[in-house]
Structure 1
Amino acid sequence: MTDTDVELLWRPDPTRDNGMTAFRSWLSERGHDFPDYESLWEWSVSDLEGFWGAVAAYFDVSFHSPAERVLASAQMPGASWFPGATLNYAEHALRRGGDDDLAVIFHREDGLTYSLTFGALRSRVAAFRAALASLGVSAGDRVVGLVPNAPEALVAFLAAASLGATWSSCSPDFGARAVADRFTQISPVVFVAVSGYVYNGRSFDCRPVVEEIRSQIPSLRATVLIDYLDNGATLPDTLSYSELLATHEGAALEFTPVPFDHPLWVLYSSGTTGLPKGIVHGHGGIVLEHLKMLALHGDLGPGDRFFWFTTTGWMMWNYLVSGLLVGTTIVLFDGSPAHPSLNTLWHLAEQHRVTYFGTSAPYVQSCLKEGLEPAEHYDLTALRVVGSTGAPLTPEGFRWIASAVGKDVQIASVSGGTDLCTAFVAASPDRPVWLGELSCRALGAAVQAFDEAGNALSDAVGELVITRSMPSMPVFFWDDADGSRLRDAYFDTYPGIWRHGDWIRITPRGSAVIYGRSDSTLNRGGVRMGTSEFYRVVESIDGVADSLVIDTSGVTEGELLCFVVLDGVTLADVEPLLRKELRSSLSPRHVPNRFVAVAEIPRTLNGKKCEVPVKKILAGVDVDRAVSRDALRNPEALQPFLELASE
């Protein structure tokens, strides 16, 4: 297959230098000549020591103690990266910019906006580091935050990391039980929390939630309260964030060297079928992985402005703040992306001259359905890349970005996971963008499509696997001393091979298409299809606001059920068109046995559709075994499915 067989939406400018070509030139000077991206990728996954050693050298990673070698053991799980090396993530995040260079731009939905230079950020981190140390925090302790995407969260995280303490955060819109389910597992010693937050035009008081959470964490030595709404809110037996900063103003900025795999942060699985798993990543693995992704794949550096719409409860926050590693200005937005309208984030891009605009595929779809034309109304001339993740971006989403945002804008549809805190199928500034495709497998990511027997597939849909170790794979799961939970999560299907749980097709060009979760795949008459393709068709119909498709094959008589959330129409209005479009766009086998209208689709706290839990409920599994209600954004949305199961 050639480039002309699929529609080409964007091609790199051969006259423009970028991070990836600069890296190739640097390698060439050292005897590694790679004429194109594909040859570089092949080397990156075949010579792991050579590639990751080059990444560390190219970015001048600051090791306090040198590594004995790059990779002592490559087995999965249990690879040993840079044994003997010590470093600190926070040191790398704060070393690039000059004191007067812009580090952070903050924008809240109610209009509050301010910025921090690297000098000011370093001073605040130093002060809060001293405050944490005065509370007895040291390497190995845990510091947690119930915090929005704001500079205070960033300062607290970097201060904790600078001490070698381990950070974990949740967004303040999480319920008390959901937060406690996460934080109690790791026995934190300091809890940083906001007194309130704003969302969708309303203010919310967090203090009752803070009280409830801290009452369940006996390990706490202190709770630090941020008066985030600046309304004088207080809480008994808490310390004031602003007073702690003032008390320790002028403290020296120091960094505690820690081993390469020392826990940097704890992220969490969705927790839809039990307590969320605590996924631990190390300082060194994240430094190397994020330097590679942001500087090479993202082509970000000093002078750029990097934005991704996220909360502190999603791994994209951790990815966003790592923009500091490459000296770029990070843009933090806190609020609703749809208040007062879906144009809010495009206006933000204009106001702050955003270079790299990251969002989710559902947001792009919403903009498409609303008929937005951002480039007509906002000055987006600074914009170079639009990134999308969280779900597969439909071909229509690609087209909308190209037409409504800009034909010269690179579309970086990427796929990865909380598990590795990165994207491993991504974009590159020296790779074209083809309609509906992710441009490349990321450097160092040995991504393949496997069949059920463990054979690699070419240009066919299979299980997404990673066949070689990566430095940002989890160091361990929290409270998993023998590693059994980690092995069960990723290595139970193909021993020694990471199975991610998505369907993927890798094209002969090296690009890829993601088809959705492999554990919720539709299998009708032997034809397998990802749910994302189904949603693409269903949600393109006017009046269908959201949908969920469940294939009950193997658990009941094998119905295909499509649940739809309707807006301004009735099921009778749209069902004939839905059936027609699914038959012509997918196949007759993929026309549902039944369509069912519901008020809402159950979603996790991070917004993912609960396909597998609903499938279990319909199979008769007790709801409390099928899903943890506290892991859901809208647990009441389960009710119609419970009623259907009882029938």
Structure 2
Amino acid sequence: MPPNSFPSNGFRIEEAGKYYEPPEDADNAEIRLKNVISNKYKVQFDTYEDWFTWTHQNYPQFWETVLEECDVKLHNKYTKVVEADVPMPKVPKWFPGATLNYAENCLKNGKNDKIAFIEYEINGNQKTYTYSVLRQDVAALATALRDKFNVQKGDHICGYLPNVYETAVAMLATTALGGTWSSCSTDFGPTGVLDRFAQINPKVLFVVDKTSYKGKHHSLVNNVNEIVDGLGDDLKVIVIPQLDKPIELDVFDQRSQYFCYNELKKEVGDTAAIEYTPVPFHHPLFVMFSSGTTGIPKGIVHTVGGVLLKHVEEHIIQTNISEQDTILFYTTCGWMMWNWLMTVLFTGATIVLYNESPLEPQDILLKIVSETKATVLGMGAKIYDEYAKSDIDYKKIHSLSQLRLILSTASPLKASTFAYLNGKIRPQVVIGSISGGTDIVGCFMGATLNRPVVPGECQHFYLGLDMCTFNENGEQVEDERAELVCRNPFPSMPLEFINDSDGRRYFNAYFNKFPGVWTHGDFVLIDSQTKGSVIFGRSDTTLNRGGVRIGTAEIYAVVEKFEEIADSLVIGTVDPQDDTNENVLLFVKLAPGHKLTLELMKNIKIKLRNRMSPRHVPNEVHPIDDIPYTNSGKKVELAVKQVLQKEVVKNINSLRNPESLKLFEPFAST
């Protein structure tokens, strides 16, 4: 395939200049690892596909070499790399016999005077914390947790917190003691928090009494009172001060359960030393929660070693992050990208935190990149889409030349947005559309410095993973839309689900469709020429038009280019005349000052017919005032489909804007 030509992935856009191609003399961590493996195992890699294939066909050797070359610190040596005699759907143990500590590994490489965190405030102020200060703060808090609250290995600690420095300290202090961490962001309501935290009965809960969004202060006292009341009398609550204002513990109910974060650290002093608790490789590190749009959120247990090793491979090997980097990834601590981001500390890099609105003003994140000299930028694809809609040439406004890597996730990144980023943010930057999920607290595909960027595609599957797509018959296919699967075990497979003693929910989540194969629930096309992937949305909301499966992302990619359209949602409902077919309803949220006219509806349908196919044309187009999203920024199609079919919508509290579902009730089938 000629460089920078476009694959047959359904997207055609104007070329926005030359896209990134790996230089012939490239020198990065992935290339160095490849050379180590080539010498160690006497194997030659003539192409990138040779290299990728070796890593998943020899996955025990690959992951062992990553562990060794990236210098993951172990306290006890392992007896084997993986239980190779334990086939999926069972979960094999990795590095049995080994012990380690997550926090110790995250904190061991950062130089004392190197900035670990920059906390950027809405007024432009920057609070900086060095690795030396971070280690000191973690030591003090861990000591307080151990001595005052008897926190020890295996205890659950939770946080109802914003994305601020103290949240990172709380997580690291917890894991330093061998505890298990879970967090929800402060945009969750009490029911959403209790649906999650009540499953794990935490010993300690970290909270804030107030937060700020769009520059406005919001009290969280009532939320916290309700959450604490629902978690029981034995819970201890640590309140972290926010907005540079003192804490008034008397405003809380059950006053005796509350403690001040700063006072606890002050009691310990600045001389505490960290005493890391070694735990087995498969010891629980995080309990993550599914988005919960199909029921009570699943509590997904992830392991210390599995998370650490997978993240280290993604950060160092896939994207070459090092102590020379500064990364701004816009996230909340209710999204798995926060956990992913925290492990960047292992590299000794600097992490930039921002807890305000990402789009007020619209270019605030780009301003932060400029002022902090960030080299890596990440956020949800929808934010990049907003930049693209503005068509502003931000590289002429902000200093963005130091950016070397742009990461996008949460939903597919449109090819047209690739073009915008390449043309008006940072020409020839590596654009990594990364995809994975809470289920693996990491990525299946995304970025590499050693493959070209093709607009509309995730560059490549990640190393060590036997990824492919299966059609309905379980046959491996390329160049067609099919089910994304992984055919070999990997370190960050969940250990188990909470309250799933027989493993049935775990099996049904990943292994029910194809025997012995992890089915991820994404609808993907692998381009046979580029080996990149195009994601078409979740397979459980894939449209069926006359037996042809259509991903909703294909329709969004066309509809949301209209300047009159601010957002959209596509839902398939059963055709009453043909239960093997679906009627497609398109709901459009109009941009300010625009109406859904007959002419606009006609133009949308013509564009879909011409750019995609007649099957992509919706049966109906309706205006809607709002589109529902999860707290992690994903469109909620399934819940709307349930509303339209007059089914019960479970766990509505997992939505960022649950009130939006009522807008769809008038369109429900009769």
Q: TM-score range by the shorter chain?
A: over 0.9
Contact 1:109 1:199 in 2 (8 A): no
1:582 aligns with 2:602: no
TM-score of the aligned structures, taking structure 1 as reference length: 0.97
The one-character-per-residue Cα deviations of 1:299-335 (angstroms, maximum 9, x if unpaired) are: 1011111121100000011111111111111111111
Q: Any residues of structure 2 matched to 1:131-142 within 5 Å, and which? A: 131-134=144-147, 135-142=149-156
Match of 1:429 among 436, 446, 449: 449
SS at match of 1:562: strand
Gaps of 5+ in 2: 7-14
Gaps of 5+ in 1: none
Match of 2:328 among 307, 313, 317: 307
- 1-structure distance, mates of 2:343, 2:127: 20
Contact 1:227 1:234 in 2 (8 A): no
The one-character-per-residue Cα deviations of 1:372-397 (angstroms, maximum 9, x if unpaired) are: 22211011121101110110001101
Contact 1:109 1:198 in 2 (8 A): no
1:44 aligns with 2:68: no
1:63 aligns with 2:74: yes
Q: Which residue of 2 aligns with 1:281?
A: 302
Match of 2:594 among 569, 584, 587: 569
Specify whether residues 194 and 556 from structure 1 end up closer, same or farther in structure 2 by C-alpha distance, changes over 3 A only: farther
Q: CA deviation at 1:37?
A: 2.9
- 2-structure distance, mates of 1:14, 1:317: 34
Aligned residue type for 2:596: L
Q: Which residue of 2 aligns with 1:26?
A: 36
136-145 vs 35-44, greater mean Cα deviation: 35-44
- 2-structure distance, mates of 1:632, 1:4: 39
Match of 2:666 among 621, 643, 646: 643
Q: Which residue of 2 aligns with 1:80?
A: 93
TM-score of the aligned structures, taking structure 2 as reference length: 0.94
Match of 1:476 among 493, 496, 499: 496
Match of 2:627 among 583, 586, 601: 601
Match of 2:422 among 391, 398, 402: 402
- 1-structure distance, mates of 2:540, 2:31: 38
Aligned residue type for 2:314: M
Match of 2:140 among 106, 111, 127: 127
Contact 1:195 1:229 in 2 (8 A): no
Specify whether residues 512 and 549 from structure 1 end up closer, same or farther in structure 2 by C-alpha distance, changes over 3 A only: same
The one-character-per-residue Cα deviations of 1:502-558 (angstroms, maximum 9, x if unpaired) are: 111112232111111111112212332210110011111112111111111367764
Q: CA deviation at 1:194?
A: 0.9
Match of 2:283 among 262, 265, 277: 262
- 2-structure distance, mates of 1:132, 1:27: 43
Q: CA deviation at 1:209?
A: 0.8
Q: Which residue of 2 aligns with 1:165?
A: 179
Match of 1:189 among 195, 203, 206: 203
Contact 1:271 1:628 in 2 (8 A): yes
Match of 2:344 among 320, 323, 336: 323
- 2-structure distance, mates of 1:4, 1:271: 40
57-66 vs 21-30, greater mean Cα deviation: 21-30
Contact 1:214 1:220 in 2 (8 A): no
SS at match of 1:537: helix
SS at match of 1:80: coil
Q: Which residue of 2 aligns with 1:591?
A: 617
Aligned residue type for 1:606: S
SS at match of 1:99: coil
Q: Which residue of 1 aligns with 2:12?
A: none
The number of residue pairs the alignment matches comes to 643
Q: CA deviation at 1:608?
A: 1.4
Specify whether residues 201 and 108 from structure 1 end up closer, same or farther in structure 2 by C-alpha distance, changes over 3 A only: same
- 1-structure distance, mates of 2:308, 2:638: 34
Aligned residue type for 2:127: Y
Q: Any residues of structure 2 matched to 1:499-538 within 5 Å, and which? A: 499-508=519-528, 509-538=530-559
Q: CA deviation at 1:597?
A: 0.9
Contact 2:377 2:405 in 1 (8 A): yes
- 2-structure distance, mates of 1:35, 1:385: 26
Q: Which residue of 1 aligns with 2:583?
A: 559
The one-character-per-residue Cα deviations of 1:7-49 (angstroms, maximum 9, x if unpaired) are: 7621122334212112122223323443443222111111121
Q: Which residue of 1 aligns with 2:640?
A: 614
Specify whether residues 621 and 555 from structure 1 end up closer, same or farther in structure 2 by C-alpha distance, changes over 3 A only: farther
Contact 1:464 1:502 in 2 (8 A): yes
Match of 2:21 among 4, 7, 11: 11
Q: CA deviation at 1:108?
A: 2.3
SS at match of 1:233: coil
- 2-structure distance, mates of 1:494, 1:243: 54
Q: CA deviation at 1:342?
A: 1.2
Contact 2:110 2:346 in 1 (8 A): no
SS at match of 1:121: helix
Contact 2:112 2:131 in 1 (8 A): yes
- 2-structure distance, mates of 1:447, 1:271: 26
Q: CA deviation at 1:219?
A: 6.3
Specify whether residues 428 and 137 from structure 1 end up closer, same or farther in structure 2 by C-alpha distance, changes over 3 A only: same
Contact 2:296 2:650 in 1 (8 A): no
SS at match of 1:254: coil
The one-character-per-residue Cα deviations of 1:140-176 (angstroms, maximum 9, x if unpaired) are: 1011001111110000000000101000011111111
Q: Which residue of 1 aligns with 2:246?
A: 232
SS at match of 2:443: strand
Q: CA deviation at 1:177?
A: 0.8
SS at match of 1:239: strand
- 2-structure distance, mates of 1:275, 1:356: 35
